[in-house]
Amino acid sequence: MKKILLIATGGTIASHSSSKGLSPQIAAEGLLKCVPEVLEFCQPSAIQIYNIDSTNVTPEHWIKLAETIRDNYDAYDGFVVCHGTDTMSYTAAMISYMVQHSPKPIVFTGSQQPIDKEDTDGRINLRDSFLYATSEAASDVVIVFQGKVIAGTRAKKIRTKSFNAFTSVDFPNLAAIRDGRVIQYITTPKQAAPEFYLELNGKVGLLTLTPGAKGEILDAYFAHYDAVVLSGYGTGGIPDSDYYGFYETIQGWEKKGKTLVVTTQVQQEGSDMNVYQVGRGFKNRFDLLESYTMTYESIITKLMWILAQVRDDDSVRELFYRCVNYDLIG
């Protein structure tokens, strides 16, 4: 039987109720005891690397997680990471960049209810995750939740309380888990070995445009961050009237070597800045990057990975448009 390592990080699945609300308290071995049936098809082990609400996750936590996977990689056939749902999409995307092309599966899961509650979704999600981690077709970074297997860079949390919390944005689910069986839809070619990256640049910010928000706000973001993701309207439109002043702001910071990525606030179908004047004018004038169908989570984490490796414009552009774990499609 395959050896699978459970890496516990906290989240709702590991939480107990208190007078202050839910907080992670159940340790890794306690989670494993809640799914004794996995002993029938794998040899599980467990390790606790931190026990936090995922709202508190930082780049340092991501580095610790990637280091743990690296240090245990040769000893196990796959990994299951228990994580809070609120930032799971960010962490799954980030580990997609920090542990690239893994021939062994790295499976993220969690739950909307603590695992020791009678009506929890935690036990089935954890059991399904171990099952998928033993599948011969499984590889790379995925999220397993409510029977869906989603590529680590395509996932987004779309519901705050319902068990069906995650969707795959603009890309099919890789597989489904039904009645104890893995139904594989898309098989990722396996590489010989993973590539590990353990340095990040956390100075990446996301600014979502709202009517009336002027260029001074973007100016403040550029003053603090090395890269800014500007979330525009529709297909990636940015206000171009004199009232807003975005041309002047972007021009000034481009000369100082800052990176600008333009995306869209619309969840489905991505950006296309060439459609309207309010997009095309900025794209023609500036050396900006366009996200197309990348999710917020993959854009932000990919930039944190890229800016820790390179800083010159050409290299940043080359890495940004290099497809990793289905983050760029179409």
Catalytic residue numbers, as ranges: 12
Q: Please report the DSSP string for 278-293 in residue order.
A: HHHHHHHHS--EE-TT
CB of 50 within 8 A of CB of 68? no
Q: Please report the DSSP string for 5-25 in residue order.
A: EEEEEESGGGEE--TT--EE-
The span from the CA of 300 to the CA of 316, in Å, is: 13
The span from the CA of 113 to the CA of 105, in Å, is: 25
3-class DSSP string for 57-102: CCHHHHHHHHHHHHHHHHHCCEEEEECCCCCHHHHHHHHHHHEECC
Nearest to 110 by CA among 121, 99, 96: 121
